[in-house]
Amino acid sequence: MQGVWQSAVISAAFDVQAHEADDQIPAGPSVIVDPPDGKLPYLPEAAKQAKLNWDQRDRDPVGYCHPHGVPRQLVPPFPLEVVQDGDYFAILSETEHSVRVIPLNGRPHRKNYWAWMGDSRGHWERDTLVVDVSGLNGKTWLDQAGNFVDENEKVVERFTMTGPDRILYEATVSDPTVYSRPWTMRIPLARRPKNTELIEYDCVEGERDVVHHQNLQRQRAK
Binding footprint of other proteins on the chain (CB under 8 A): 2, 64-67, 81, 83-86, 88, 90, 92, 97-99, 101, 103, 107, 110, 112-117, 135, 137-138, 151, 195, 197-200, 202-203, 205, 214, 216, 219-220
Say how far apart CA 62 and CA 59 lie, in whole Å: 8
Q: Minimum CB separation from other proteins for residue 27, in Å?
A: 33
Q: Are 5 and 189 in contact (CB under 8 A)?
A: yes
Residues 216/192, Cβ–Cβ less than 8 Å: no
Report whether 81 contacts 95 (CB < 8 A): no
24 vs 219 by CB, closer to other proteins: 219
Q: Given the complex with other proteins, which of 30 and 98 has the nearer CB atom?
A: 98
Q: Least distance in Å: CB of 199 to other proteins?
A: 7
Smallest distance, other proteins to C-beta of residue 19, A: 29
Instruction: Give 75-98 as a 3 state SS string.
Output: CCCCCEEEEEECCEEEEEECHHHC
Question: What residues does 183 pair with on adjacent strands?
Answer: 173
Closest CA to 198 of 212, 214, 213, 217: 217
What's the rounded Cα separation, in Å, for the pair 198 and 95? 9
Please tell me what DSSP assigns to residue 131: E
Q: Which is nearer to other proteins, 22 or 58 (CB)?
A: 58
Closest CA to 4 of 217, 221, 172: 217
The CB-of-144 to other proteins minimum distance in angstroms stands at 20
User: 116 or 183: whose CB is closer to other proteins?
Assistant: 116
**Beta carbon nearer to other proteins, 18 or 210:** 210
3-7/119-125 β-pairing: unpaired
Minimum CB separation of residue 66 from other proteins in Å reads 7
Q: Closest separation between CB of residue 192 and other proteins, Å?
A: 13
Task: Give the nearer residue to other proteins in terms of CB position, either 151 or 165.
Answer: 151
Sign of CA dihedral 104, 109, 113, 115: positive
